[in-house]
Amino acid sequence: MKLELRGITKRFGALVANDHINLTVEPGEIHCLLGENGAGKSTLMNVLYGLYTADEGEVLLDGEVQHFRGPGDAMAAGIGMVHQHFMLIPVFTVAENVMLGNETTLSGGRLDIQAAREKVRAIADRFGFHVDPDALIEDLPVGVQQRVEIIKALSRDAKVLIFDEPTAVLTPQETDEFMGIMRQLRDEGAAIVFITHKLREVREVADRITVVRRGAVVGEATADQPDSELAAMMVGRAVELTVHKDEPRYAETSLEVSGLEVTNAQGAVVVDDVSFTVRGGEILVIAGVQGNGQTELTEALVGLEHASAGSVRLAGKELVGRSVNQVLDAGVGFIPEDRSTDGLVGEFTVAENLMLDRRQGPPFVRAGMLQLGARDDFARNAVEEFDIRTQGITEPVARLSGGNQQKVVVARELSRELRLLVAAQPTRGVDVGSIEFIHKRIVATRDAGVPVVVISTELDEAVALGDRILVMYRGRVVGIVPADTPRDVLGLMMAGIAPEGSAAA
Amino acid sequence: MSDTQTSAEHRRVADDSDRWREALHRIVSGSWAVSLGAIVLAVLGGSIMIIVTDPGVQQASAYFFSRPSDTFAAIGSSVGGAYYALFRGAVWDFGADSFAGAIRPLTQSLTMATPLIMAGLGVAVGFRAGLFNIGGRGQMLVAAAAGGWIGFAVDMPWPLHMLVAVLAGMVAGAVWAGIAGVLKAYTGAHEVITTIMLNYVGFYLVSYLLATPGLLQAPGSSNPKTPHMLTSAIMPDLLGRRYNLHLGFIFALLAVAYVWWLLNRSSTGFAFRAVGENPAAAKVAGIDVPRTTVSVMLVAGALVGLAGVTQVLGTVTTGFSYDIDAGIGFDAITVALLGGSRPIGVMFAAILFGAFKAGGSVMQAAEGVPIEIVQVVQALIVLFIAAPPLVRAVFRLPQPGKRPKRGKRAARRQEVAA
């Protein structure tokens, strides 16, 4: 089925999320929609999927104009979408999830689960997936869950498949397998829209590339164009994709973590006997697929999570057992993984957010009273220095773009006297321009002799930023390796396979 | 896998509380325009009730098709008369022969507003910190009991006596709300449930004290009522004996100023607001969320307690019974909502409600309009405040287009307009 979008325009108030976008996807092709976060890719796909109504423009399938009132209509017309966050019910089986919303019943209203099972098996066999129709979703690895989503779409005879940032949760190996699946689907004649901002993936599978920036199509590209050209199209200017940094100059202060263990509320050990050392002036990147204990590890480092065993010593001083406040006072800067939940108070102004974790005394508080003058001066300087694009320091931070929000967090944490920086996913959901800036600031902090721990699930970032890379898998350290370790070795490590000759610390 | 699973669960729980929080946030921080619109709509709603219940209108509408003008005249006189009487009872008495007499209703409104301001502030502080304090009744009762007991049973010189009694009431209110705060902070018990339950506990505790000789009950009486307050504990009248307005009103204004300073200028208030808007970020920023929750409830309880003790030392000084809270603990929620949880807003909302209370009785006496109409108007105000998009739609106010969902609606309207 041929998909055509003509002149799609979607406005949210004054913001034009999609500005007369044209897009054609032929059957049997993988069409990449490349753009930064906030460029309007997801909005466009939500229009296509019937979740939003376009203000202007039309959606055509095989030349016929469609009027979707909701995802139900879109599905019925043959459009399937695999969301970034899976829409599966964890306590249901694979077959139950696949039939959900499209249940067939036997006499007396009984669900025809047998038919669903057979459907799952048939599709799984066709593509060589190994999926047990009776397995519970919650017991399946993320990569397999994604296949269930694909099966679900295919079970409704989807001819147009939309993948919205599908690789964010996958290991490099799973990503490779996923690319294979996409090619297979294409070869069977499906029209595929692949949304991503990762250049590597685009070049690997795309038949055609459409680049979107600020809600408008800025051009088409081919897969053989170099990264720098694609990035420049995405951002609208030339960007440096590599991080320039000199050899580390080690300083005195160091962070020593030994035998750290964290148990979650259910009693499962999520950080298991983790030990490492970061010297002043170096960046240690903690890599791994999302959900392998990195979050809990960082939270334990800053006192947000209770460590059931082990120690964290900063310049010889024990941090385990201290409150978050005491940890911050000890000179630890923390960029949390999820800025909107953990890093910022959305309704607070830029200025208020810039003092969020500095309420304990001068310069912003004296005798229990806020020093608004000092705060606003600081905020104005920070906005300038960190290039935070805002209408003013009194603008609620929720109105800023993701990249600028992140810069507020970075500005706050880096404007203090630091003895350790812990940055969790510092560039997630941040535009390429801001990534460049944030990376530079992190390297500058390292060069000032501060030990830096960066948590990243993006291999590119880990390799670019790290002096050394620690890979975590299921709460344990797989190994600590130099940053120039080959990517396939790192990929295997992320799947839990330790490289030969490396000591699992 | 187990950790992805738990993190998913985590997210689900977080989503749930987020939804709560967002709903609460939307309701309590309504803009001025919405508050005003809600009042107008509620008054219109009240007018309809007046019209349908008015006997004159009922009679005239029986022959509406032969002489419709009669019906309209009856409607005009019933609604006009009712709101005229309300105004006369709440602001300015046109019938009085002197300025002193004419201004009396206004002072009466301010007297009625006094405890509403205090208790409204208490609820508003809770709202700003993300806590729903429904326990105004219980907090007022225990505060009245503690302050009242000092007021009639202890001998001390003025003004020390009064101040000690006020302080005792505030402490009692703080402790009562603090229980809910501690339960919330350290066991996760939802404050809506605990404060409501503590209302019952407080009510029956005070009822027991009032019925037990030697505790709160007046000696030689079998009524559940305390003795008269000692003169040294009474809040003096501000404008002489002719008016009921007493020193409590000054306390209320001081409370407004204090809460404004607390929320906008102090680091404690900064932490309160941070916890209210985003407890997760507050925690990451090193704010001790459980401790802050307890502090918020202590401050809220003290303010509501001030309302309770002001009732017994200022408004009703002849001894009190278990109905001394007079529904103020609940009206305070309405006041806080209408005032957008901002101190100045709360003050004006409380004065409006005080005027409703003062004027309502005059309206009933002069026009025979049931005083319940006033309560219906109050209830309608909350109803409209809780549904800002409705009010905005009625008055064609712009919908805030920050979030895509709401923006979508606005965009659709543009489309219709185009």
B213 and B116 housed in the same domain: yes
Choose between B164 and A138: higher pLDDT. B164
pLDDT at A199: 81
pLDDT value, residue A225: 84
Considering only CA atoms, which of A413, A415, A431, A432 is closest in space to residue A423? A413
Q: Are A442 and A465 in contact (CB under 8 A)?
A: yes
Which positions in chain A touch B1 (Cβ < 8 Å)?
138-141
Mean pLDDT of A222-240: 80
Structure-token pair, residue A63: 């030349």
**How large is the average pLDDT for residues B4-32?**
55
On whether both B53 and B197 belong to a single domain, the answer is no
Mean pLDDT along residues B338-352: 93
In the predicted structure, residue B407 carries a pLDDT above the cut 60: no
User: In this structure, is residue B304 part of a structural domain?
Assistant: yes
Number of residue pairs across A and B with CB atoms under 8 Å? 128
At A30, the pLDDT band (50, 70, 90 cuts) reads very high
Tell me what pLDDT residue B345 has: 92
- pLDDT at position B305 is 97
Residue range A239-257: average pLDDT?
83
Residue type, B256: V
Same domain, B75 and B119: no
Q: Which domain holds residue B45?
A: 31-90+394-399
Largest Cα span, chain A: 76
| pLDDT (mean) for B374-387 | 86
Q: Which of A356, A397, A400, A416 to mutate to test the interface with B (most CBs of B within 10 A)?
A: A356
Q: What is the pLDDT of residue B405?
A: 36
Look at A139 and B2 and tell me if their CB atoms are within 8 Å: no
Q: Are strands A420-424 and A476-482 parallel, antiparallel or unpaired?
A: unpaired
CB contact under 8 A, A138 and B281: no
Lowest mean pLDDT among A54-68, A132-146, A308-322, B381-395: B381-395
A64-103 residues touching B, CB cutoff 8 A: 90
Q: How far apart are CA A434 and CA A385, in angstroms?
A: 13
Shortest distance between the Cα of B10 and any Cα of chain A, in A, equals 10
In angstroms, the CA A425 to CA A281 distance is 20
Total count of domains within chain B: 2
Quote the mean pLDDT of chain B. 86
The mean pLDDT of A156-177, rounded to a whole number, is 83
Q: 133-152 in A: which are within 8 Å (CB) of B?
A: 138-142
Judge contact between B316 and B147, C-beta under 8 A.
no
User: Is the confidence at residue B12, as pLDDT, over 60?
Assistant: no
Do B137 and B241 have their domain in common?
A: yes
Contact between chains at A324 and B284 (C-beta distance less than 8 A): yes
Q: Are residues B75 and B118 in the same domain?
A: no
Q: What is the pLDDT of residue A108?
A: 80
Which pLDDT score is estimated for B401?
Answer: 45
What's the confidence (pLDDT) of residue B392?
A: 79
pLDDT band (50, 70, 90) for residue A203: confident
- On chain A, the residues whose CB falls within 8 A of the CB of B284 are 302, 304, 324, 334, 336, 342-343, 357
CATH of the domain at B361: 1.10.3470
Across B249-268, average pLDDT: 96
Residue B24 lies inside a defined structural domain of this protein: no
pLDDT category, B295, cuts 50, 70, 90?
very high
Kindly state whether residues B35 and B109 are assigned to the same domain.
Answer: no
Residue A161, beta-bridge partner list? A80, A192
pLDDT of residue A75: 87
Q: How confident is the model at residue B415 (pLDDT cuts 50, 70, 90)?
A: very low
Q: What is the mean pLDDT of residues B82-86?
A: 89
DSSP A261: E
Structure tokens at B301: 């309880």
Q: Kindly state the average pLDDT of the residues B84-103.
A: 88
pLDDT of amino acid B24: 62
Residues B132 and B75 in one domain: no
- Is the residue at B129 inside a domain? yes
Tell whether B342 is covered by a domain.
yes
**Is 0.95 topped by the overall pTM?**
no
Q: Name the pLDDT band for B162 (thresholds 50, 70, 90).
A: very high
What average pLDDT score do residues A44-70 get? Answer: 88
Chain B CB contacts of A44 under 8 Å are none
Q: Is residue B236 part of a domain?
A: yes
Domain for residue B153, yes or no?
yes
Structure confidence at residue B126 (pLDDT): 96
What whole-number percentage of chain B has pLDDT above 90? Answer: 51
Q: Is B176 contained in some domain? A: yes
One domain for residues B260 and B189: yes
Backbone angles phi, psi at A221, to 5 degrees: -140, 165
pLDDT at B64 over 80: yes
Q: Please check whether residue B408 is in contact with residue A52, taking contact to mean a CB–CB distance below 8 angstroms.
A: yes
Query: Mean per-residue pLDDT for B113-137?
Result: 96
B207, part of any domain: yes
Q: Is the pLDDT of residue A133 over 70?
A: yes
pLDDT tens, residue by residue, A351-369? 999 999 988 888 899 988 9
Query: Domain check: are B230 and B280 in the same one?
Result: yes
List phi, psi (to 5°) of B226: -85, 165
Evaluate if residue B13 carries a pLDDT over 80: no
Q: Where are the alpha helices (DSSP H) in A310-431?
A: 324-329, 350-354, 372-385, 402-414
Question: Same structural domain for residues B218 and B75?
Answer: no
State residue A15's pLDDT score: 72
Q: What confidence score (pLDDT) does residue B411 get?
A: 38
Say yes or no to pLDDT of B360 above 70.
Answer: yes
* Residues B128 and B199 occupy one common structural domain: yes
> Do residues B73 and B183 both lie within one domain?
no
pLDDT tens for residues A370-414? 999 999 999 999 999 998 888 889 999 988 877 889 999 999 999
| Contact in structure between B123 and B336 (CB atoms under 8 Å) | yes
User: Contact at 8 Å (CB) between B161 and B232?
Assistant: yes
Peptide bond into B159 cis (omega under 30): yes
pLDDT in tens, A409-450: 999 999 988 999 999 999 887 777 788 889 999 999 999 999
Identify the band that residue B22 occupies on the pLDDT scale cut at 50, 70 and 90: low
